[in-house]
């Protein structure tokens, strides 16, 4: 029977899923050549107005559904809906393995891991490090394990790619006991950076061997400094609020502000968490939207200010990463904003001419992979990321290593 690999990325308000073919499964290849997308989809708006949509690789809508919000329409029930729909649309294929995006691998996991009962228990201990994300990541793993205890499930971590960061980039200026217990920078979006690091040699071999900054600019946004394709610094830190301002997250914030909010505004932990994660960033500054497309189209000066602050902070954080790398050979834009907004890329690059960055307006408008001019000191690229494919690749690699094939 033909088989496939499913990928699940479960968050607080959405569950994304993809299914890939795994037709050359007996080969020991760990590349992406035999992993072809069959369909993908998501349920979003969980807890508000849940909506399901599944699409074919060409974007054709295969199915959609909506539910009125109700306590019974929860993650578990919606996951069951996804499993049922996927099961009915596999065209006779069998799901041999499921790869999961898991935000935190703590101090322990520097690469993907096959999940068993003891791994699951360890992953539960990281909930304290990522309380808004980790519990949701683990629900599908537990649910599927209950349905089929022998299902091959792999956890792939957003933190793993950054475990190569040196101590000097990793440690906060806190007393050592905090650092030792794990209060340090972890960095996130690691699956996206790993995908780009894998792709870079096919675009530019020199870039893959040199000093690169990869800007993952989506509704969550961060940047990574890579030396010879390994992470040496990230704008994100202990949590995914640090660094760049995002759709609804503050990015770096003077910790004194939090003390002020507690003392003077009597805000408790939940109030502050909501403010930092959900009400700030582009939405908070503009008061209009967290979506960069909406802000770019708006005439409202608050929207312009939000975009200006985003661009300013990207440039400022980028200069910090260039200092960490002691120079820059390559800049890569990826994720929703990075891949799709020539205006934002142009605004960022215009302010970086002092670094020897020069972009070709026409190439930038087309978003074709290389957007720098031939005389630019730094090669600048637009490379679409694919975290789901990265997870499928890791899952298959572990299947091969664990001789799932006979």
Active site residue 23: no
- By CB under 6 A, is residue 292 in contact with ligand ADP? yes
For ligand ADP, the closer of residues 207 and 337 by Cβ is 337
For ligand ADP, the closer of residues 155 and 335 by Cβ is 335
Contacts of 308 by beta carbon, 8 Å cutoff, 6+ apart: none
In whole angstroms, the minimum distance from the beta carbon of 169 to ligand ADP comes to: 23
Per annotation, catalytic residue among 58, 158, 167, 291 = 158
Backbone φ and ψ for 239, nearest 5 degrees, come out as -130, 175
Residues 98 and 8 sit within 8 Å (Cβ to Cβ): yes
In 59-109, at which residue ranges do the beta strands (DSSP E only) sit? Answer: 61-66, 94-102
In 230-309, at which residue ranges do the beta strands (DSSP E only) sit? Answer: 230-234
Separation between Cα atoms, residue 198 and residue 175, nearest integer Å: 37
In whole angstroms, the minimum distance from the beta carbon of 129 to ligand ADP comes to: 20
In whole angstroms, the minimum distance from the beta carbon of 336 to ligand ADP comes to: 2
- By CB under 6 A, is residue 293 in contact with ligand ADP? yes
Q: Would you give the distance in Å from CA 152 to the centre of its chain?
A: 23
For ligand ADP, the closer of residues 113 and 337 by Cβ is 337
CA atoms within 13 A on the CB side of 105: 26
Structure tokens at 29: 């290849």
- By CB under 6 A, is residue 389 in contact with ligand ADP? no
The only residue of 79, 129, 337, 398 in contact with ligand ADP, by rule CB under 6 A: 337
In whole angstroms, the minimum distance from the beta carbon of 6 to ligand ADP comes to: 19
Separation between Cα atoms, residue 211 and residue 196, nearest integer Å: 14
Dihedral Cα 310, 215, 385, 59, nearest 10 deg: 20
Of 57-65, 115-123, 262-270, 286-294: span binding ligand ADP (CB under 6 A)? 286-294
In whole angstroms, the minimum distance from the beta carbon of 149 to ligand ADP comes to: 32
Dihedral Cα 28, 205, 339, 244, nearest 10 deg: 100
Helix 117-125 vs helix 134-147: crossing angle, to nearest 10: 160
The only residue of 4, 335, 352, 371 in contact with ligand ADP, by rule CB under 6 A: 335
- By CB under 6 A, is residue 251 in contact with ligand ADP? no
- By CB under 6 A, is residue 346 in contact with ligand ADP? no
For the segment 191-230, give every residue that binds ligand ADP (CB under 6 A): 218-220
- By CB under 6 A, is residue 291 in contact with ligand ADP? yes
Binding site for ligand ADP (CB under 6 A): 218-220, 247, 291-293, 296, 335-337, 340-341
Task: List residues with catalytic annotation.
Answer: 158
């Amino acid at each position: 029977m033909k088989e496939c690999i499913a990928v699940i990325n479960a968050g607080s308000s959405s569950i994304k899923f993809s299914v890939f073919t795994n037709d050359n499964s007996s080969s020991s290849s760990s590349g992406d050549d035999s992993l072809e997308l069959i369909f993908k989809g998501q349920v979003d708006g969980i807890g508000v107005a849940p909506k399901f949509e599944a699409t074919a690789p060409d974007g054709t809508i295969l199915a959609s559904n909506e539910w009125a919000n109700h306590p019974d329409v929860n993650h578990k029930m919606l996951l069951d809906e996804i499993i049922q729909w996927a099961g009915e649309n596999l065209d006779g294929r069998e799901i041999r393995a499921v790869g999961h995006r898991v935000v935190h691998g703590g101090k322990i996991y520097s690469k993907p891991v096959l999940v068993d009962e003891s791994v699951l228990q360890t992953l539960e201990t990281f909930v304290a490090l990522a309380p808004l994300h980790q519990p949701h990541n683990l629900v599908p793993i537990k649910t599927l394990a209950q349905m089929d205890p022998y299902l091959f499930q792999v956890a792939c971590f957003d933190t793993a790619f950054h475990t190569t960061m040196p101590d000097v980039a990793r440690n906060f200026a806190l007393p050592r006991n905090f650092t030792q217990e794990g209060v340090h920078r972890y960095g996130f979006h690691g699956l996206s950076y790993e995908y780009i690091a894998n792709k870079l040699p096919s675009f530019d071999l020199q870039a893959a061997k040199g000093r690169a900054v990869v800007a993952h600019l989506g509704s969550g946004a961060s940047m990574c400094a890579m030396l010879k394709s390994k992470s040496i610094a990230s704008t994100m830190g202990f949590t995914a609020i640090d660094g760049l301002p995002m759709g609804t997250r503050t990015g770096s914030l003077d910790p004194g502000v939090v003390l002020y909010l507690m003392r003077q505004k009597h805000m408790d932990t939940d109030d502050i968490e909501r403010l930092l994660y959900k009400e700030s960033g582009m939405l908070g500054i503009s008061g209009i939207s967290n979506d960069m497309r909406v802000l770019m189209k708006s005439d409202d000066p608050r929207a312009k200010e939000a975009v200006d602050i985003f661009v300013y902070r990207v440039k400022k954080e980028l200069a910090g990463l260039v200092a960490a790398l002691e120079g820059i050979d390559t800049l890569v834009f990826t994720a929703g904003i990075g891949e799709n907004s020539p205006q934002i890329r142009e605004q960022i690059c215009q302010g970086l001419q002092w670094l020897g960055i020069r972009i070709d307006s026409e190439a930038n408008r087309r978003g074709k992979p290389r957007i720098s001019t031939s005389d630019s000191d730094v090669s600048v690229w637009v490379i679409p990321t694919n975290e789901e494919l990265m997870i499928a690749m890791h899952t298959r690699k572990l299947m091969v290593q664990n001789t799932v094939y006979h």
